[in-house]
Structure 1
Amino acid sequence: MKTLAFKLFFTIIIITLLVSCSTDDDGIYLKEENMQFKDVHLSYSEFELDILNEINEYRESKGLSTLEILNIVSTEAISHTKYMIELDEINHDNFSIRTNNLMKNASAKTVGENVAYGYSTAKGVLNGWLNSESHRKIIENNSFTHFGISVLKNNNDRYYYTNIFIKR
């Protein structure tokens, strides 16, 4: 009797293992379309586009490649600009988080960031960045391929800027 119970128990275990070890679904597979980067839709103000154009014209004048606008980069810039307005100060707080987000979501290999406050023209903000060695080095970095921007006003009608550069 013990032998029959053991054989029955053993048979049930073997059948369970055989049924559960199907090769039809042996892992998690991402469809190829999920592996491709998909950018978000954004609209840019004329002022934002003027700044990006000024940066590209400057880069061209230095024999550097121009950069392409990438909306997902601007999304990170918008978030940071709102954060700076909330604090009422310019900063690079949480830059590592933005970098990680862009590495994950935009296939960025390298990330750089310029911030500014108070300028009222595209040429003005560009000149402000160019007069700062660390900001100028980011603008003149030839490895960058894409960029994004955010320009927002605070309650006192003062502009805050975040310009993020990435290499893909």
Structure 2
Amino acid sequence: MRRWIDQLDKIENNINHYWSKLKCPPTDGVNAWKSAWDSYGVCSGLKQLDYFKAALNLRKQADLLGALADQGILPDYKLYSTAKIKSAVTAKLGVEPGLQCRDGPFGKKQLYQVYLCVDTDAKTFIKCPKLPATLSCPASVVFHPFYTWMLNSTAAAAFDSKIVLPTQTMLN
């Protein structure tokens, strides 16, 4: 298994920039990548490295932060309509996403994950035939920014104290 993980580190100038290993406490990302492969990749019909390359290409194509920003939805602690969030993603990609929320600041729910489905060509976003039953968001949610100080000092040092958003590429 280690061999294909080592290959991942070489794609896209380092997979850690795009496929986050952010966790508290921090990890090296290998378990997350292995879990993604075991859950989705093995059924994709792609080789391991090709699966992760396709995922990174889809990430660039989706540009979720850009789609949200185009509609004035920014990670700034404000409340945003989940219908507006879905509409912004739908306008960009032509398919409605699933949204997952978790407990957030100020006693509100925060946007946690955006779910998208992809056709077997690994290039085209499609309407999800079924979304996880765990998806649940109220009518309005907080779009919470992420800062490295939210991690412990070891993890923050690894990110050089730069601001990192959940789906944003770290800029050098």
Q: Which has the larger radius of gyration?
A: 1
Q: TM-score, normalized by length of structure 1?
A: 0.32
Higher helix share: 1
> Normalising by structure 2, what TM-score?
0.31
